[in-house]
Amino acid sequence: MTSELDIFVGNTTLIDEDVYRLWLDGYSVTDAVALRVRSGILEQTGATAAVLQSDTMDHYRTFHMLERLLHAPPKLLHQLIFQIPPSRQALLIERYYAFDEAFVREVLGKKLSKGTKKDLDDISTKTGITLKSCRRQFDNFKRVFKVVEEMRGSLVDNIQQHFLLSDRLARDYAAIVFFANNRFETGKKKLQYLSFGDFAFCAELMIQNWTLGAVGEAPTDPDSQMDDMDMDLDKEFLQDLKELKVLVADKDLLDLHKSLVCTALRGKLGVFSEMEANFKNLSRGLVNVATKLTHNKDVRDLFVDLVEKFVEPCRSDHWPLSDVRFFLNQYSASVHSLDGFRHQALWDRYMGTLRGCLLRLYHD
């Protein structure tokens, strides 16, 4: 006796959250059944393995049919085939677009292309996430990227509108899309200690301050309809950053800056002497990062540079985070007292974001 056909269709589509998770995690039906058996469900319910097999198959089939709709979540809301309560719909979408930390760290900043897709095998072996799940997550990134790529308006809003994600998840996707678009290097050994959350935090700051969209929000001419893009860094801004060079190139200005910072921080910093000794190096590092951002190559290496030029030197001198904060605040603020320096607004736009990023990046 073999079962040729075995289906269950409810008027309200039955969604088993546990099976959904197993499916999302890319387990085959056989593996999923084995895992469910291990969870002790048979003892709880008095069911047999055959029942579990049939149930799992049913759910997998349903998910497979739903997957097409999940690719465009608004379709899931309007479709008529599956009657699913709104809360369940939201759960389906949210879980489908959720991703693994380990996975996202591997592909963050990489081009979402076929080439990267080929590397998923390696990522799968490295992270222990099934290839199927890797593919789903990668395809999600790529799909979101494709949809919002050419869109005007806020990146987060666009993602939220077209994929109906929660605010948090939409922000994460904005970061992923932003990183993929600007191809920031995140995979270097030096950067391994950073979490996705760290990068996402930086991405948000950069989107808010360094992109075209950030400028567009200023009440300029409403008719000009300038490209309100959250994805690309503001090219003009990057060009202007060259003007900051003077802060380190002009020796007088550099000395003045140093003395201003030192005076203000004397007695307040535990690592004052180290700071005093390193000031010129640190300042050069931070300003040089800014001036180099016109080159794509250097944009990509932004995080490598920040860690190399600032985080690592401070860390080797055992600066506590509070001291880093004091220093960066004073370092940014003191520039306003430099009479010979005329690019205060530019400096604020640059340093305001960078300060936030550095504080976030500064940890073990």
Partner 1 sequence: MPGKLKVKIVAGRHLPVMDRASDLTDAFVEVKFGNTTFKTDVYLKSLNPQWNSEWFKFEVDDEDLQDEPLQITVLDHDTYSANDAIGKVYIDIDPLLYSEAATVISGWFPIYDTIHGIRGEINVVVKVDLFNDLNRFRQSSCGVKFFCTTSIPKCYRAVIIHGFVEELVVNEDPEYQWIDRIRTPRASNEARQRLISLMSGELQRKIGLKVLEMRGNAVVGYLQCFDLEGESGLVVRAIGTACTLDKLSSPAAFLPACNSPSKEMKEIPFNEDPNPNTHSSGPSTPLKNQTYSFSPSKSYSRQSSSSDTDLSLTPKTGMGSGSAGKEGGPFKALLRQQTQSALEQRGGSPHRFCRRREFPFFTLTAFPPGFLVHVGGVVSARSVKLLDRIHNPAFVGIMGNTRSYKLLDWNSFNSDEPETRDAWWAEIRQEIKSHAKALGCHAVVGYSESTSICEEVCILSASGTAAVLNPRFLQDGTVEGCLEQRLEENLPTRCGFCHIPYDELNMPFPAHLTYCYNCRKQKVPDVLFTTIDLPTDATVIGKGCLIQARLCRLKKKAQAEANATAISNLLPFMEYEVHTQLMNKLKLKGMNALFGLRIQITVGENMLMGLASATGVYLAALPTPGGIQIAGKTPNDGSYEQHISHMQKKINDTIAKNKELYEINPPEISEEIIGSPIPEPRQRSRLLRSQSESSDEVTELDLSHGKKDAFVLEIDDTDAMEDVHSLLTDVPPPSGFYSCNTEIMPGINNWTSEIQMFTSVRVIRLSSLNLTNQALNKNFNDLCENLLKSLYFKLRSMIPCCLCHVNFTVSLPEDELIQVTVTAVAITFDKNQALQTTKTPVEKSLQRASTDNEELLQFPLELCSDSLPSHPFPPAKEHLESASSNSGIPAAQRATSVDYSSFADRCSSWIELIKLKAQTIRRGSIKTTVTVEKASPVGDGNFRNRSAPPCANSTVGVVKMTPLSFIPGAKITKYLGIINMFFIRETTSLREEGGVSGFLHAFIAEVFAMVRAHVAALGGNAVVSYIMKQCVFMENPNKNQAQCLINVSGDAVVFVRESDLEVVSSQQPTINCQSSCTEGEVTT
- Per CB under 8 A, residues contacting partner 1 are 1-14, 17-18, 21, 45-48, 50-52, 54-55, 57-58, 61-62, 64-65, 73-75, 77-83, 85-87, 89-91, 93-94, 98-102, 129, 160-161, 164-169, 172, 195-197, 200
Of residues 82 and 237, the one with the C-beta less far from partner 1: 82
Neighbours of 141 (CB within 10 A): 24
Task: Please report, for residues 3, 8, 45, 47, 209, the alpha-carbon distance to residue 53 in angstroms, rounded to integers and kept in the order given.
Answer: 12, 13, 14, 10, 53
Find the shortest distance in angstroms from Cβ 167 to partner 1: 5
Classify the C-alpha dihedral 283-287-288-289 as positive or negative: positive
Find the shortest distance in angstroms from Cβ 342 to partner 1: 41
CA distance 101 to 50: 35
Residue 204 CA, chain-centre distance (Å), reads 8
Find the shortest distance in angstroms from Cβ 252 to partner 1: 46
Of residues 116 and 166, the one with the C-beta less far from partner 1: 166
Cβ atoms of residues 192 and 310 within 8 Å: no
Cβ atoms of residues 288 and 248 within 8 Å: yes
Of residues 195 and 288, the one with the C-beta less far from partner 1: 195
CA distance 79 to 106: 35
CA distance 114 to 122: 14
Find the shortest distance in angstroms from Cβ 207 to partner 1: 18
Cα within 13 Å of Cα(84), Cβ side: 25
Q: For residue 71, which phi and psi values (nearest 5 degrees)?
A: -65, -25
All residues at 6 or more sequence positions from 41 whose CB lies less than 8 Å from its CB, including other chains: 47, 52
Find the shortest distance in angstroms from Cβ 189 to partner 1: 21
**Residue carrying the six token digits 């479709």:** 79
Tokens of 205: 């700051």
Find the shortest distance in angstroms from Cβ 164 to partner 1: 4
Find the shortest distance in angstroms from Cβ 328 to partner 1: 25
Of residues 73 and 285, the one with the C-beta less far from partner 1: 73
Find the shortest distance in angstroms from Cβ 64 to partner 1: 7
- Single-letter amino acid code for the residue at 312: E
Of residues 158 and 278, the one with the C-beta less far from partner 1: 158
- Choose among 357, 102, 350, 302: nearest CA to 190: 302
3-state secondary structure of 90: helix
